[in-house]
Amino acid sequence: MLKIENLHATVAGKPILNGLTLNVPTGEIHAIMGPNGSGKSTLAYVLGGRPGYEVTQGSVEYDGRDLLALEPHERATAGIFLGFQYPVEIPGVSYLQFLRESLNSQRRSRGETDLSGAEFIRLAKAQAATMGMDADMLKRPVNVGFSGGEKKRAEMVQMGIMAPRLAILDETDSGLDIDALKAVGAGINSIMRAPDKAVLLITHYQRLLDYVRPDRVHVLSRGVITRSGGPELAHELEREGYVEVAA
């Protein structure tokens, strides 16, 4: 589903990704682990199309299409969900309005009709319930006054509503207590564990992988994948540290 070939990218002229190659087949969950500064978040932003993250070499194919040629909103419409390490606050705009307009914008681009207010609220309530989130929180401005855990749960509610084919989750587990971690793990499994979907799970720690079992684990160091393996690689990293394993 996602094919990254020799990807080089810079941020403010500084090279961060230095020839990253990665293949995530449909139906699989791949974890990317790496120390701080290895390029994990840059990879997520490059795949999401964030302005300021410049690809200087290499290619990214999504479902056989040139992903890098698409605008950020077109990538979402094509079925990619980017989960944020630091979800953004938007004062004055309610979560319900934000998500309804986003979803309907996607639907229109795909030639589908808008969801009505009532249809959307039913969908949002069901997804909030799945994540153990009070649906009334969706009436509040986007992420304003949310705790770290609430923001990440809300990201999973958003993912449930958007029903993407490929989720790229950037440290969705950071700043979570154990209950929220379990809830987020269960959310990823229920929404994304399917034969026609795939997940790229970017994480610093092994602990989320206790709840979401990856098919493959890759170690990112200085902008390249230095090792790949099965789920046991995550345990090895946890035991021995990045310095030993990634070197």
- Give the residues lining the site for other proteins (CB under 8 A): 48-51, 71-73, 75-77, 82, 84, 87-88, 90-93, 97-99, 101-103, 105-106, 109, 141, 158, 162
CA distances from 46 to 5, 50, 79, 221 (A): 13, 6, 16, 17
Name which of 161 and 183 has its Cβ closer to other proteins: 161
Closest separation in Å from C-beta 113 to other proteins: 15
| Amino acid symbol at 39 | G
Q: How far is the CB of 165 from other proteins (least distance, A)?
A: 13
Sheet holding 224-229, edge to edge: 80-83, 166-170, 198-203, 29-33, 216-221, 224-229
Q: Which residue lies nearer to other proteins by CB, 137 or 231?
A: 137
Residue type, 209: L
Nearer to other proteins, 155 or 173 (CB): 155
Question: Closest separation between CB of residue 233 and other proteins, Å?
Answer: 29
Q: Which residue type, as a one-letter code, is found at position 219? A: V
Decide: residue 119, CB within 10 A, 0-12 exposed, 13-18 middle, 19+ buried. exposed
Between residues 191 and 219, which has the closer beta carbon with respect to other proteins? 191
**In the complex, minimum distance from the CB of residue 71 to other proteins, in angstroms, rounded to a whole number:** 7
* Cβ proximity to other proteins, 157 vs 224, nearer residue: 157
CB of 51 vs other proteins, minimal distance in Å: 7
Is 146 strand, coil or helix? coil
